[in-house]
Chain A
Amino acid sequence: KAGVTQTPRYLIKTRGQQVTLSCSPISGHRSVSWYQQTPGQGLQFLFEYFSETQRNKGNFPGRFSGRQFSNSRSEMNVSTLELGDSALYLCASSLGQATNVLTFGAGSRLTVL
């Protein structure tokens, strides 16, 4: 059974650019969540999509956005990159209930120069 796949694994951008990260969930999982991990702030929730609808959103500026497609694959976009956006971005998928376990991907490591 394939796990959660995130692409790209590593990328380097410069300030002001934008970036799109992709996440393919486990087959049958309809919920995809995104988390940002930094040394200072730890793991922080960005947003969650379920059946193509954003169901929950964390406390991040509007530069962070996402979407989910009909096949449950998800993308997140960060516009006008800032140095502080350098982080490991983790995607997780689940069946969508509070009791369900989140299965995480290996992450996309973004470096902003």
Chain B
Amino acid sequence: AQKVTQAQTEISVVEKEDVTLDCVYETRDTTYYLFWYKQPPSGELVFLIRRNSFDEQNEISGRYSWNFQKSTSSFNFTITASQVVDSAVYFCALREQAGTALIFGKGTTLSVSS
């Protein structure tokens, strides 16, 4: 069965610190898709990135970077030089090729103070 684990429930950092959010997933499918979403206090889930199982290339987008490692079934998310506006709940999610449902982790609440 598929499962997503975000072991870090809450993380607090001071502005300009780097922070890494961990995500470990379980699936028996060989083709699957991984996602990160951000949920600010307003409640709407905002898409950040999608990664296909056959593409292990890491990605950098501005202050955000993602490290996908199939060998350890991990898809970690790093924010460099964090800002107060990064404060939100971050969710990692998995979708298998044959499925239509997103399986979410429990989320990591990131608090960035100035």
A interface residues with partner B (beta carbon < 8 Å): 31, 33, 35, 42-45, 48, 50, 55-56, 58, 88, 90, 92, 96, 98-99, 101-107, 109
Contact = CB atoms under 8 A, between A and B. Distances in A.
Interface string B55-91: 0000000000000000000000000000000000001
Contacts of A106: 42-44
Contacts, number: 61
Interface residues on B, range: 20 to 34
The 5 closest A-B pairs by CB, nearest first: A45-B101, A104-B45, A43-B104, A106-B44, A56-B100
B38 to A, nearest CB: 11
Given A48-B101, A58-B101, A101 B96 contact: no
B16 interface: no
Contact of A101 (B47, B52, B91, B99): B47
Given A35-B102, A106-B42, 13 more contacts: A31-B100, A33-B101, A42-B105, A45-B102, A56-B100, A58-B101, A98-B96, A98-B97, A99-B50, A101-B50, A104-B37, A104-B46, A107-B44
A90 B42 CA distance: 12
A9 to B, nearest CB: 9
